[in-house]
Structure 1
Amino acid sequence: MHSLLAKIENQLSQLTEAEKKIGKFIIDNAKLVPNMTTKDLSKKTGVSEASVVRFCKSIGIRSFKSFKLELVKDLTLSETDITDFSILQKKDSPYELFHKVTYVNKHAVESTLSSLDKNELNKAVESIKTAKKIIFFGVGGSATAAFDGHYKFTRLGFHSVMAHDFHYLITLIPHLSKGDIFIAISMSGKTKDVLELAQFAKKSGATLIAITNIDKSPLYKEADIRLCTPNVEQDFRIGTIASRMTQLNIIDTLYLSVFNSIGENLVNLYHKARKEAVRLRR
């Protein structure tokens, strides 16, 4: 049973008769409650709206609105595979899906705290700081994180490249040398295009940094530095959602870590870019 529902069940004996009615209804109909008002719940349970508010306070939650948010969170985290095809059977409303997406993404990002190794992260930051060239590459949903990394490190003054064209990168990779970086991004770590370019970059002398799931995939084994994301989605899914958030979280961490080290030398350049951007506004 979900943690909030378990808490309610454990505290039933300590509640008033009216509050017990509310608690039992919620345990039996948990998925209905997030769409209910205090008036709806009071009618269903035959108690007053004030009793609903008192029930929430009795279990340590200040309002019914906060209670519903906590309940949605618990229900969602028990069904984190919102990108699998079973979603077709659930027929959630857009607002229910909004809540589920929000909490699944939040859970995915928080799970990265367990999957990412501190020492590997430090090695990645130190390697990037001294690089002359950085290539980011990912396909499908991972291309979003690759482009974001390219954009952010361009702002830091690095010669940064991201391209979708496999053959273009084949012509570029031989120009990499020791100290340069190839950042390969793949949830599964098994995508052939990503693996082929990663291996080619490594042969050219570049340091291979992989942003990939914690499973010991071919990309994981090939990488010099592994920035691992948690397993938050199935390989066959309707779209990349939570896994993309974990990748972007790592990209943001790399960017801020490098900026924190060299940013003092870039502040004037950031101001120049900002001034020009403001001038061009209509």
Structure 2
Amino acid sequence: MEDHATTGTFLERVEEKLDSLSKKERQTVEYMKANQAELIYASITELAEAVGTSEATVTRACTKLGYPSFQALKVSVATELVSPQEKIHEELTPNASAEVIIDKIFSSAIQTLTMTQQSLDDVAVGKSIKAICKCRRLVIIGNGNSGAVALDAQHKFLRIGMNVQAYTDDHLQMIAMVSLTAEDVLLAISHSGSSKDAGDAIQLAKEQGATVITITSSGNSPVANASDIRLLTRSQETRYRTYAISSRMAELTIIDTLYTGVALCKGDRAIANFEALEKALVVKKY
């Protein structure tokens, strides 16, 4: 028989299940109910700290409400809070002109890059460049939208002759982690910072002794908290989205920053590889 709680709205589920929750779970749910607008921007770690409970309690509360995860609950709440049109872009209407769309999208990207530049920790960037420059092997992981950023990073670092692989499949990620050593670096990209796949890979990489660098939008998230070096993006995403749009530009720009820093660090070796690439690729163009 189908569980009614799995088909109702967030508020309907809360009303039905509240009395069956433990004290901590009830506090968690009541906090979420009272702060829905803020909830959809929060990581599970941030919510647990705000309530004064644990991530495990948050997960149990979500499960008892009929959601498979905290992320699923956030998506449901966000969907209920915004109109169908806002799911595309909160500040655009169906009859928006091309000129207006261009202005909004480009302005959002520019704002994201500016916010990220102003908040990016130069010490963390420096440590990341140093770690990548001297590593034996660089492994980059990302799932979903972050996978595209991971593949772009692989392309960049290959151009300077690095031993680098990007993995966007969760099984291959775990397989790759097994062969890491203390001489290697894992670069994990997760916009939300709540990717279970990234978290599992990071845990195994650290057990192998590898240095872990993360790029996330939240410094207080499971993925960021598990890393050795945190690099953060800053953006204003539309509320319902589970993936990054404008923040992807910031992630790519951070990758370009690391790539440039590592290329400078490698000096003549990077230049020699550039020259070899030019010769190898010349036959690919008319």
| TM-score (structure 1 length as normaliser) | 0.66
Within 5 Å, give how 1:64-83 maps onto structure 2. Answer: none
Q: Partner of 1:26 in structure 2?
A: none
Residue 248 (structure 1) aligned with residue 246 (structure 2): no
Cα drift, residue 234 of structure 1: 4.5
Within 5 Å, give how 1:120-135 maps onto structure 2. Answer: 120-135=124-139
Q: Find the residue that maps to 2:161 and give its secondary structure.
A: coil
Which of the pair has the greater relative contact order for Cα pairs under 8 Å at 6+ separation? 2
CA–CA separation in structure 2 for the residues paired with 1:216 and 1:249: 21
- Does the 8 A contact of 2:193 with 2:218 survive in 1? no
Cα drift, residue 87 of structure 1: 5.0
- Does the 8 A contact of 2:185 with 2:213 survive in 1? yes
Once the two structures are superposed, residues 18-51 of structure 1 have per-residue CA deviations (whole angstroms, 9 ceiling, x without a partner) of xxxxxxxxxxxxxxxxxxxxxxxxxxxxxxxxxx
Deviating more after overlay: 234-243 vs 140-149: 234-243
Q: Percent identity?
A: 31
Cα drift, residue 189 of structure 1: 0.3
- Does the 8 A contact of 1:83 with 1:241 survive in 2? no
CA–CA separation in structure 2 for the residues paired with 1:215 and 1:83: 26
- Does the 8 A contact of 1:152 with 1:255 survive in 2? yes
4+ residue stretches of structure 1 with deviation over 4 A? Answer: 82-85
Cα drift, residue 125 of structure 1: 0.8
For 2:131, give the aligned amino acid.
S
Residue 178 (structure 1) aligned with residue 178 (structure 2): no
Q: Partner of 1:193 in structure 2?
A: 197
CA–CA separation in structure 2 for the residues paired with 1:227 and 1:281: 37
CA–CA separation in structure 2 for the residues paired with 1:167 and 1:235: 30
Change (3 A) 1:178 1:215: closer
Change (3 A) 1:238 1:123: closer
- Does the 8 A contact of 1:138 with 1:185 survive in 2? yes
Cα drift, residue 252 of structure 1: 0.4
- Does the 8 A contact of 1:108 with 1:230 survive in 2? yes
CA–CA separation in structure 2 for the residues paired with 1:83 and 1:272: 47
Q: Partner of 2:97 in structure 1?
A: 93
Cα drift, residue 239 of structure 1: 5.7
Aligned residues: 201
CA–CA separation in structure 1 for the residues paired with 2:121 and 2:243: 27
1:227 equivalent among 231, 239, 242: 231
Cα drift, residue 83 of structure 1: 6.7
Deviating more after overlay: 199-208 vs 250-259: 199-208
- Does the 8 A contact of 1:85 with 1:237 survive in 2? no
Change (3 A) 1:238 1:177: closer
Q: Partner of 1:156 in structure 2?
A: 160
Change (3 A) 1:180 1:104: same
- Does the 8 A contact of 2:160 with 2:263 survive in 1? yes
For 2:203, give the aligned amino acid.
Q
Q: Partner of 1:261 in structure 2?
A: 265
Structure 2: gaps (5+ residues):
1-85
1:166 equivalent among 167, 170, 173: 170
Cα drift, residue 276 of structure 1: 2.5
Cα drift, residue 90 of structure 1: 5.2
1:114 equivalent among 111, 118, 128: 118
Residue 102 (structure 1) aligned with residue 121 (structure 2): no
- Does the 8 A contact of 1:181 with 1:207 survive in 2? yes
CA–CA separation in structure 2 for the residues paired with 1:95 and 1:263: 44
Residue 146 (structure 1) aligned with residue 127 (structure 2): no
Once the two structures are superposed, residues 151-178 of structure 1 have per-residue CA deviations (whole angstroms, 9 ceiling, x without a partner) of 1111111111112222122222111000
Cα drift, residue 112 of structure 1: 0.9
- Does the 8 A contact of 1:136 with 1:161 survive in 2? yes
RMSD, aligned α-carbons: 2.0
| TM-score (structure 2 length as normaliser) | 0.65
Within 5 Å, give how 1:19-98 maps onto structure 2. Answer: 85-87=89-91, 89=93, 91-98=95-102
For 2:112, give the aligned amino acid.
A
